[in-house]
Structure 1
């Protein structure tokens, strides 16, 4: 959880990242890029990509899958991962289509209105830091792989999956003395529901059937999630 001092805001807009703010699952998309960047053969890249995505299969708890994913960076230098993250993000900016345009517009509108903006994600700083800097987010609540002596150990100090998002957001608001009912939150998946239920202004992004039903039942705002 990375929480630099927030501006003197009276409300916060929280944004899930993967497939809410962005059109991709950043941790997996970055991992694909990283495998090529560190020199794995195409055959090895394919095998390691498949192994990583197997962590998304039903039956494996999401938090456990999240922890297992970051074991893949064990032994790599943090500066190497960060440099790859910068190159990965730059390539996406060149290609376009990385952000959902309507969600990015909403983030910018909140910033212009004086709200603090916070990214919340099971992804990690190695790639999220570059996303946050580009959109001007004030803070990032994310999974924290352990780094010791400048090197990833493969262990995870804190995951940011499912209900952990709401707990982290609640703690941040309590620390800053900000009332949840004045805040906004954006999410696309049922794992974001507790975060959305925390705030007074929840927004469902995309067309996940369970999320659409929840939005209709509670008269929540919806955004389609338009690639831009």
Structure 2
């Protein structure tokens, strides 16, 4: 093993269409709404997706679209969302093609070399916690939906985890590891909104469409 491989490092990875092939927020919204509420729930989820698609096409910034997405969870019980999120992950991850193979393999190699893995995503913890367990990620940097008692309010605590907020969270985590040089760290992303995060590390890996953009 080379000296550079022995040095402690963090590996930051985006999730949707970087580590996994789907858009987890929308896939889970469909899964949860149809599974919990049947046909009416499926129609409601479809309306949310179409409304957000229309607004983003009309120029709504992705950060605001992300906030609007979480409003769909207003009034939903946290415990139910967590339960259905684990079901979703169990089913989806068992299917062929759930992971972006190249990235999953590279994360395994990084872990074998002693690196710490951090998921960085605009998604939320119920979806990301089982994924973090599966890939051995020690850190989950993600959106924080507000709760009131046992239900979601539909609001977010803090900024959506997109663009500059990803950079801020990466810097914050790096600051906790005085022994780690950002130049030794890796980042994986697929979208231009991941570039602020990728700029914080010495080894940026651009996945899929971003790699060809």
Q: Same fold (TM over 0.5)?
A: yes
Q: How many residues align?
A: 203
CA separation of 1:110 and 1:56: change in aligned 2, threshold 3 A: farther
Per-residue CA deviation, residues 160-214 of structure 1 (Å, 9 max, x unaligned), is: 1111111100111012212211100001111111111110111111133xx435x
Query: How far is the alpha carbon of 1:52 from its aligned partner?
Result: 4.2
Contact 1:55 1:69 in 2 (8 A): no
Name the SS of the counterpart of 2:188 in structure 1. strand
Which of 183, 196, 203 is the aligned partner of 1:194?
196
In structure 2, what is the Cα distance between the partners aligned to 1:58 and 1:109?
A: 42
Superposition TM-score, scaled by structure 1 size: 0.84
Superposition TM-score, scaled by structure 2 size: 0.89
- Please list, as runs of the form range in 1=range in 2, the aligned pairs for 1:177-216 lying within 5 A after superposition: 177=178, 178-208=180-210, 211-212=211-212
Deviating beyond 4 angstroms after TM superposition, the runs of 4 or more aligned structure 1 residues are: none
Any gaps of 5 or more consecutive residues in structure 1?
1-8, 214-228
Contact 1:111 1:117 in 2 (8 A): yes
Specify the alignment match of 1:77 in structure 2.
77
Name the SS of the counterpart of 1:99 in structure 2. coil
Query: How far is the alpha carbon of 1:62 from its aligned partner?
Result: 1.0
Residue 123 (structure 2) pairs with residue 123 (structure 1): yes
Per-residue CA deviation, residues 25-75 of structure 1 (Å, 9 max, x unaligned), is: 111111111111221425444334323444543511111111111011011
Question: RMSD of the alignment, in Å?
Answer: 1.6
In structure 2, what is the Cα distance between the partners aligned to 1:139 and 1:55?
A: 32
